[in-house]
Amino acid sequence: MVKENRQNRSKFLKVKCPDCENEQTVFDKASTVVTCVVCGKELATPTGGKASLKAEVIAELQ
């Protein structure tokens, strides 16, 4: 029996806070509210699947 390797469909995203322009890393399927570590603004909220992002995505991290 041959096992198939499943591709990981989850990603980490580098986002920029719209208020203070701080850059931080967020999981695209976040299960809790993610806030900016500098100013406290909400950057992502959970939706049961992919998180709803409220920040600009700068890059996808591998």
Buried b (16+ CB within 10 A) or exposed e, 13-30: bebbbeeeeeebebebeb
Tell me the CB-side half-sphere exposure of residue 19, using CA atoms within 13 A: 10
Give tens-digit pLDDT for 44-56. Answer: 999 999 999 999 9
> Which of the four pLDDT bands, split at 50, 70 and 90, describes residue 10?
confident
User: Can you give the pTM of this predicted structure?
Assistant: 0.80
Distance of CA 30 to the CA centre of its chain: 6
